[in-house]
Structure 1
Amino acid sequence: MTELISGILPGIGEMMNIHPMLVHFPIALLNAFFLMELLGYLLKKSELRIAATWMLYLGTLGALATVVAGFRAASGAPHSHEIHQIMSSHTYYGISVLALSIVLSVWRFTNKGVYSKKGQIGSLCVALIMIIILTFGADLGGLMVYKYGVAVKAVPQPKGHDHGAHGHDSQKMIMPDEDDEFSGIELEGDGPGEMMENHHDNHDHGTHEH
Structure 2
Amino acid sequence: MLDYLPPLNEHNLPYPDTMHPIVVHFVIAMVLFAVLCDLIGYFTKNPRLYEVSWWNLFFATISIFIAVIFGQIEAGLAQPYPAAVDILSLHTLIGWSLSGILAGITAWRYIIRSRNPKVLPIPFLGAGLVLAGIVFFQVYLGDLLVWVYGLHTVEVVKATREGFFQ
Shift of 1:147: 1.3
Determine if contact 2:50/2:118 at 8 Å carries over to the other structure.
no
Give 2:147's aligned residue. 146
Give 2:132's aligned residue. 131
> C-alpha separation between the residues in 1 aligned to 2:155 and 2:32?
32
Which 4+ stretches in 1 moved above 2 angstroms?
none
Q: Which structure: greater helix fraction?
A: 2
Shift of 1:63: 1.2
Determine if contact 1:60/1:102 at 8 Å carries over to the other structure.
yes
Matches within 5 A, 1:39-188: 39-111=40-112, 112=114, 114=116, 120-154=121-155
Q: Please give the secondary structure, in 1, of the residue aligned with 2:154.
A: coil
Q: Which has the larger radius of gyration?
A: 1
Structure 1 residues without counterparts, runs of 5 or longer:
1-12, 156-210
> C-alpha separation between the residues in 2 aligned to 1:24 and 1:141?
11
Structure 2 residues without counterparts, runs of 5 or longer:
1-14, 157-166
- Amino acid aligned to 1:51: V
Q: TM-score by structure 1 length?
A: 0.62
> C-alpha separation between the residues in 2 aligned to 1:105 and 1:35?
15
Determine if contact 1:33/1:55 at 8 Å carries over to the other structure.
yes
> C-alpha separation between the residues in 1 aligned to 2:116 and 2:125?
15
Give 2:16's aligned residue. 14
Q: TM-score by structure 2 length?
A: 0.78
> C-alpha separation between the residues in 1 aligned to 2:109 and 2:149?
40
Give 1:187's aligned residue. none
- Amino acid aligned to 1:14: P
Shift of 1:154: 2.0
Q: Larger relative CO (CA 8 A, sep 6+): 1 or 2?
A: 2
List per-residue Cα deviations over 1:148-168 (Å, max 9, x = no partner): 11011129xxxxxxxxxxxxx
Percent identical pairs in the alignment equals 28
> C-alpha separation between the residues in 2 aligned to 1:153 and 1:113?
52
Count of residue pairs the alignment pairs up: 143
Q: Please give the secondary structure, in 1, of the residue aligned with 2:150.
A: coil
Q: Please give the secondary structure, in 2, of the residue aligned with 1:150.
A: coil
List per-residue Cα deviations over 1:68-89 (Å, max 9, x = no partner): 1111111111111221100111
> What do you get for the CA RMSD once the two structures are aligned?
2.3
